[in-house]
Amino acid sequence: MHVGKLVFAQLMEFAPWHTFRRLVAKYHGNFNVRTFTCLDQFLCMAFAQLTYREGLRDIEACLRAQPGKLYHFGLRGNVSRSALADANESRDWRIYCEFAQALIRIARPLYAQDSIGVDLSETVYALDSTTIDLCLSLFPWAGFRKAKAAVKLHTLLDVRGSIPSFIHISNGRYHDVNVLDLLITEPGAFYLMDRAYLAFDRLYTLHQAGSFFVTRAKSNTQLRRLYSRPTDRAAGVICDQIVEFTGFYSQQDYPERLRRIRYRDDDGHRLIFLTNNMTMPALTICDLYRLRWQVELFFKWIKQHLRIKRFFGTSDNAVKTQVWIAVSVYVLVAIVRKRLNLPMSLYAMLQILSVTPFENVPLFELLTQSQLDKIPYVDANQLNLF
């Protein structure tokens, strides 16, 4: 029988705790704290994410049911809902934001060689946002509509591995296009965006930085064709044109030429793409835009399998703390998947980890397919006749 560390403690060993301690010291997270430290807060919240806890009472009841294992769990302070609530309200959310960014910097190189279905060596990002509805009376700072509150998660997703490289949390009124002002662009990278980000001055900033973008044109976008390139209509590419803006303000915002590609998919839908990449084949551009759907799948995945739709606190700090710890757990599980070279999906890993945090089983053995099904069944009560 394995008598080593608990499964949860083994999982947490993959996190860079030296970075976490440095961030706690940077933001004075443990200032005037006696028992329930930032590390205790993070472990409790990570446990809630892994095991799908619904509230502070739920977290407290589950952890206090195992008093003899909490020390081996990594907790040193007394677990109570009041201590956890106070920590979520007062501890600086930037500690967990920068810690999640540190985990992202570890995870992205692990997935750098993954295939994305397109013969492309450059980094490909998908940019989008998702809205989480809230109660206006409980979250008055998250204004959205007249009788409704919401927060937005603006996410820049690295398509290789589906690792979020940038996340910005705002209230519901924050327009998606403003996030382009916050991005640190990467020269040579591709940015996939829908029509909500069609702001020509910001796209021109991406162009000047040496980055490429692929987006869709609106119906009222005023463009003039300069010349056309040969296309393969059998593959769905109707036309491949070099265009320029004809509107006064759009010309001022984007004075360079663009490439317009009309594409008809298998269902007969016609799509119009705009890009500043002039050399890549038109069909590859269309295939690239299909990868933008991965950010939609990422939002659906974290809403279904992590706790970011129901919050354990109502303040701005508590909401951001919970979201960033959820992102940290997601990225940490992705790191474990690559470090242990596991074939299973993140969903399957979370399902297993959700029911085994207090087990004394080696993590690799737990997350690999059991060989017990290959052992023939023998009834221990059956006597030998000969």
**pLDDT for 51-75, tens place per residue?**
999 889 999 999 999 888 888 888 8
What's the pLDDT score for residue 378?
A: 47
What pTM did the predictor assign? 0.88
Domain limits, CATH 3.30.1370, in the chain: 194-291
What's the pLDDT score for residue 3?
A: 63
For residue 241, give the 3-state DSSP assignment. Answer: strand
C-alpha closest to that of 346 among 208, 163, 74, 105:
163
What's the pLDDT score for residue 307?
A: 83
Q: How many CB atoms lie within 10 A of CB 186?
A: 16
What's the pLDDT score for residue 373?
A: 44
What's the pLDDT score for residue 271?
A: 92
Contact 289, 192 (CB under 8 A): yes
For residue 35, give the 3-state DSSP assignment. Answer: coil
- Return d(Cα 29, Cα 180) in angstroms, integer: 31
- Return d(Cα 139, Cα 141) in angstroms, integer: 5
- Return d(Cα 212, Cα 288) in angstroms, integer: 12
- Return d(Cα 260, Cα 381) in angstroms, integer: 75
- Return d(Cα 346, Cα 330) in angstroms, integer: 8
Tokens, residue 296 = 């939609």
What's the pLDDT score for residue 375?
A: 43
Query: Which residues, given as ranges, of the chain have pLDDT below 50?
Result: 1-2, 370-378, 380, 382-383, 385-386
Tokens, residue 304 = 């279904």
What's the pLDDT score for residue 224?
A: 92
Half-sphere exposure of 335 (CA within 13 A, CB side): 23
Topology of the domain covering 194-291: Ribosomal Protein S8; Chain: A, domain 1 (3.30.1370)
- Return d(Cα 327, Cα 330) in angstroms, integer: 5
What's the pLDDT score for residue 23?
A: 96
Angle between helices 38-51 and 94-110 (to 10 degrees): 60
